[in-house]
């Protein structure tokens, strides 16, 4: 059900959940200090309570009363990248951030999203938690149809069309004087090179500090293979410039435009299920740098069944 920005702000203030657009993916919003509404998000998404939520604000000043101390480069990062697809995990003042938001961790995740409608709503409601607007484990929602497919027509939605970037924010974590990338995202690691040289990268195999990266994620029902098929009858996800022996080729986009590939990635994965395709083979021959690294990581995760 579509609602206006005004209706969304009123609904959120009275404890309701509303799906809001951001520049990355859609989120399901609730007031961060409304315990009941936050619990309802976990129930609706079927999300484990141990997976904490990102607190979204419209102004960096809203964060300072919630956090403990001032990590190096916080202001620099905030000035350079907010509003935008960057999430920062910061140590918090425990009584200032409800435990269910942060899964009882001593830190919380913060972001200022870059979307005029959602910034307007945030300026009226104050801080909102906003996990991606998908059933837990499925590809994130990049348009209202994806939200309706997962949750039906009863959830209130502010329509922002298709999201600009199509892939989630990059998450940085400050620990013992170092910033680390916990989740690859719409900002590639190269984006941070001018600001500090300490970022370490997430490992796909090693246990990381980002609880969300332990769960099945971004997965369609279809089985995904990270190689090209030998049979001609299979579905292939590939690039428009290339020839494939398969008869059923679906395009991820161009090998020259990772931004467009990222923007359409979740829609391409969701479309497999919509068209009842049970198995697809992916052309993984693309660069290992920049946004391609995020795309590769999402495809690897999407192909994992657990």
> Under the rule (CB under 6 A), what is the footprint of ligand TXA?
22, 24-25, 27, 51-54, 87, 89, 102, 105, 107-109, 111, 113, 130-132, 168-169, 171, 182-183, 209-213
- Considering the complex, state which of residue 201 and residue 275 has its C-beta at the smaller distance from ligand TXA: 201
Is 132 among the residues that bind Mg ion (CB under 5 A)? yes
What's the token pair of residue 124?
Answer: 């009226």
What's the token pair of residue 264?
Answer: 């359409």
- Considering the complex, state which of residue 109 and residue 143 has its C-beta at the smaller distance from ligand TXA: 109
Smallest gap from Cβ 234 to ligand TXA, in A, equals 31
- Considering the complex, state which of residue 31 and residue 234 has its C-beta at the smaller distance from ligand TXA: 31
Identify whether the C-beta of residue 270 lies closer than 8 Å to the C-beta of residue 132. no
Per the listing, tokens 């199509």 go with: 166
> Among 103, 8, 101, 14, which residue's Cα sits nearest to residue 56?
101
DSSP one-letter string for 122-185? HHHH--EE--BSS-TTSPPPSSHHHHHHHH-S-SEE----S-SS-SPPEEEEEETTEEEEEE--
Smallest gap from Cβ 189 to ligand TXA, in A, equals 16
Is 87 among the residues that bind Mg ion (CB under 5 A)? no
Choose the one of Mg ion, ligand TXA, none that binds residue 130, judging by a C-beta under 5 to 8 angstroms depending on kind.
ligand TXA
Sequence-separated (6 or more) residues with CB below 8 Å from residue 232: 245, 246, 247
Smallest gap from Cβ 131 to ligand TXA, in A, equals 3
Smallest gap from Cβ 53 to ligand TXA, in A, equals 5
- Considering the complex, state which of residue 132 and residue 142 has its C-beta at the smaller distance from Mg ion: 132
Number of residues located near Mg ion, criterion CB under 5 A? 1
In 184-247, DSSP assigns E strands to: 223-225, 235-239
Identify whether the C-beta of residue 129 lies closer than 8 Å to the C-beta of residue 38. yes
Smallest gap from Cβ 61 to ligand TXA, in A, equals 19
- Considering the complex, state which of residue 81 and residue 281 has its C-beta at the smaller distance from ligand TXA: 81
Residues near Mg ion (CB under 5 A): 132
């Amino acid at each position: 059900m579509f609602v206006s920005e005004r209706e969304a702000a009123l609904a959120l203030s009275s404890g309701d959940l509303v799906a809001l657009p951001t520049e990355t993916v859609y989120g399901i919003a609730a007031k961060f200090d409304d315990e009941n509404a936050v619990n309802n998000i976990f129930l609706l998404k079927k999300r484990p309570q141990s997976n904490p939520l990102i607190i979204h604000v419209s102004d960096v000043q809203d964060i300072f009363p919630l956090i403990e101390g001032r990590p190096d480069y916080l202001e620099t990062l905030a000035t350079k990248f907010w509003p935008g697809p960057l999430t920062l995990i910061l140590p918090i003042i425990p009584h200032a951030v409800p435990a269910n938001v942060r899964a009882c961790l001593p830190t919380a995740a913060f972001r200022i999203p870059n979307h005029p409608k959602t910034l307007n709503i945030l300026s009226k409601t104050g801080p909102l938690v906003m996990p991606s607007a998908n059933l837990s484990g499925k590809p994130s929602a990049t348009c209202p149809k994806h939200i309706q497919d997962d949750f039906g027509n009863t959830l209130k939605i502010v329509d922002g069309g298709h999201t600009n970037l199509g892939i989630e924010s990059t998450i940085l974590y400050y620990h013992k004087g170092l910033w680390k990338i916990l989740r690859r995202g719409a900002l590639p690691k190269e984006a941070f090179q001018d600001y500090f040289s300490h970022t370490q990268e997430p490992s796909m195999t090693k246990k990381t500090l980002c609880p969300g990266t332990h769960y099945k994620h971004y997965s369609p029902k279809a089985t995904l293979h990270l190689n090209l098929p030998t049979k001609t009858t299979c579905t292939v996800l590939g690039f428009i410039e290339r020839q494939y022996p398969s008869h059923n080729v679906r395009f991820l986009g161009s090998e020259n435009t990772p931004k467009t590939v990222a923007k359409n990635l979740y829609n391409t994965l969701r479309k497999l299920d919509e068209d009842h395709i049970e198995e697809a083979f992916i052309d993984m021959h693309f660069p290992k740098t920049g946004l391609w690294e995020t795309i590769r990581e999402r495809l690897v995760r999407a192909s994992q069944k657990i």
